[in-house]
């Protein structure tokens, strides 16, 4: 394209008069045809038998991905080593959700991978030769063979779980080679305030463990047996069983928002602690020395990978 746009570059010079001529009009039309031709040749239909690569990238404001397939006969299978051998299948990008924009670099790069897999799932879900290329080396271990038990960061743990239904190998590629994903992640399209990434596995089905009337009658008949060795008193035990309620994530999140101490703590974690412990409110000073190990997730404060439970739920958590 450099030779084709040379005519237009000359017109940008301050001492060059801009005059529309037949030659210039012909150059414009020829450039349009060349661009259409490049797009036609560059974009291909997905072929499940070819080597597939998903290149992702993250920036502070947005994420993007390019899905490519290898169409050349080169023996080297590494992505982008052949200039013309890899053809575009799918491209996508989006802005970051306000909460996602506060992610650490490794969390953002993992989010880009999970989001790209979700958007291209109709192509890659059963793909047996998928390669994911990222420009962040620490992500190779996390999304590679690292066990879920060895990932203390809840953000990374949640994002890795979203990738478990796909088969892929993840490789590192320097940013200068990953230009396509790098460019699209810095010039995204779409809603500037998108929804966060939610997949079906995020919404766990919650069972109702309340005791039905039938179960209540069975327990009552057991407790009322005429047996000298049976010392169970019906009212106390049935009352305790009926009072059991699940401590769900939704309840934890709502209680955190309504608890003034935890609400203030989440604000401190997200916006930064005071430089001195003496400048903090009395009820939050105990968290000062733990600030490097405190994070927030979905509006809930966590110490490492453990939830900081609000006062109103602690008794139920201890009983469970």
317 lies in which domain range?
Answer: 246-320
Beta strands in the chain (DSSP E): 52-58, 62-70, 86-95, 130-134, 168-172, 294-297, 300-303, 306-307
User: 201, 221, 254: which is the final residue of a domain?
Assistant: 201
pLDDT > 60? residue 170: yes
Predicted local confidence at residue 115, as pLDDT:
92
Q: Looking at the 3D structure of the chain, how many domains does it have?
A: 4
277 or 200, which is more confident: 277
Same domain, 228 and 278: no
Same domain, 128 and 92: yes
pLDDT > 80? residue 65: yes
User: 223, 243, 263: which is the final residue of a domain?
Assistant: 243
Same domain, 15 and 62: no
Same domain, 308 and 235: no
pLDDT > 50? residue 307: yes
Q: How would residue 112 be classed by pLDDT, with cut points 50, 70 and 90?
A: very high
Which among 136, 165, 161, 137 has a CA at the least distance from the CA of 149? 161
Angle between helices 234-242 and 213-223 (to 10 degrees): 150
pLDDT > 60? residue 189: yes
> Quick one: tokens of 230?
């049976």
Same domain, 120 and 187: yes
The Cα–Cα gap between 159 and 147 comes to 13
In a domain, 1, yes or no: no
In a domain, 227, yes or no: yes
> What's the mean pLDDT when you consider all of the chain?
77
Same domain, 19 and 60: no
In a domain, 193, yes or no: yes
Predicted local confidence at residue 193, as pLDDT:
62
Which of 59-63, 172-176, 220-224, 239-243 comes out lowest in average pLDDT?
220-224
pLDDT > 90? residue 305: no
Average pLDDT over residues 51-62: 87
pLDDT > 90? residue 114: yes
Same domain, 280 and 183: no
> Quick one: tokens of 51?
């080597």
Which of 53-57, 73-77, 89-93, 104-108 comes out lowest in average pLDDT?
73-77
In a domain, 47, yes or no: no
Sort strands 52-58 and 294-297 into parallel, antiparallel or unpaired. Answer: unpaired
- Coil vs helix vs strand at 207: coil
What does the angle CA 157 – CA 159 – CA 162 come to, to the nearest 5 degrees?
A: 110
For 210-265, how does the pLDDT look when each residue is reduced to its tens digit (9 = 90+)?
334 444 444 444 444 444 444 444 444 445 445 556 778 888 888 888 888 898 89
For 120-142, how does the pLDDT look when each residue is reduced to its tens digit (9 = 90+)?
998 888 888 899 999 888 899 99
pLDDT > 70? residue 97: yes
Predicted local confidence at residue 183, as pLDDT:
72
- The CATH number for 130's domain is 3.30.420.10
295 or 201, which is more confident: 295
- Coil vs helix vs strand at 251: helix
Predicted local confidence at residue 239, as pLDDT:
52
Same domain, 103 and 145: yes
User: 243, 266, 293: which is the final residue of a domain?
Assistant: 243
Same domain, 197 and 61: yes
The Cα–Cα gap between 56 and 252 comes to 33
In a domain, 139, yes or no: yes
Same domain, 98 and 182: yes
The Cα–Cα gap between 16 and 252 comes to 68
The Cα–Cα gap between 113 and 57 comes to 8
Same domain, 286 and 162: no
pLDDT > 70? residue 22: yes
The Cα–Cα gap between 184 and 94 comes to 9
φ/ψ of 168, rounded to 5, equals -160, 160
What is the end-to-end Cα distance of the chain in Å, rounded? 68
H helices, E strands: number in the chain: 12, 8
Percent of the chain surpassing pLDDT 90: 8
Which of 20-34, 71-85, 222-236 comes out lowest in average pLDDT?
222-236
Which among 317, 236, 300, 292 has a CA at the least distance from the CA of 265? 300
Same domain, 145 and 92: yes
Average pLDDT over residues 266-285: 85
Predicted local confidence at residue 227, as pLDDT:
43
112 or 79, which is more confident: 112
């Amino acid at each position: 394209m450099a030779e084709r746009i040379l005519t237009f570059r000359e017109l940008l010079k301050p001492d060059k008069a801009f005059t529309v001529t037949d030659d210039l009009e012909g150059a414009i039309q020829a450039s349009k045809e060349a661009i259409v031709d490049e797009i036609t040749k560059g974009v291909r239909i997905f072929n499940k038998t070819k080597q597939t690569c998903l290149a992702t990238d993250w920036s502070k404001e947005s994420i993007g991905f390019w899905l490519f397939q290898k169409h050349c006969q080169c023996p080297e299978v590494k992505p982008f080593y052949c200039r013309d051998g890899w053809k575009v299948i799918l491209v996508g990008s989006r802005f970051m959700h306000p909460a996602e924009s506060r992610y650490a670099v490794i969390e953002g790069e993992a989010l880009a991978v999970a989001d790209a897999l979700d958007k291209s799932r109709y192509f890659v879900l059963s793909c047996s030769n998928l390669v994911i290329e990222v420009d962040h080396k620490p992500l190779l271990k996390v999304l590679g063979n690292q066990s879920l038990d060895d990932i203390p960061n809840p953000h990374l743990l949640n994002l890795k779980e979203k990738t478990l239904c796909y088969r892929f190998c993840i490789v590192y590629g320097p940013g200068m080679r990953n230009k396509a994903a790098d460019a699209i992640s810095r010039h995204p399209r779409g809603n500037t305030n998108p929804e966060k990434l939610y997949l079906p596995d995020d919404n766990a089905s919650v069972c109702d463990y309340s005791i039905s009337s039938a179960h209540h009658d069975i327990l009552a008949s057991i407790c009322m047996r005429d047996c000298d060795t049976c010392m169970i008193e019906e009212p106390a035990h049935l009352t305790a069983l009926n009072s059991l309620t699940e401590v769900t994530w939704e309840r934890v999140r709502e209680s955190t928002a309504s608890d003034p101490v935890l609400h203030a703590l989440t604000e401190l974690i997200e916006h930064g602690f005071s430089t001195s412990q003496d400048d903090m409110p009395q009820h939050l000073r105990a968290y000062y020395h733990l600030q490097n190990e405190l994070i927030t997730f979905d509006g809930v404060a966590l110490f490492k990978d453990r939830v900081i439970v609000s006062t109103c739920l602690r008794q139920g958590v201890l009983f469970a």
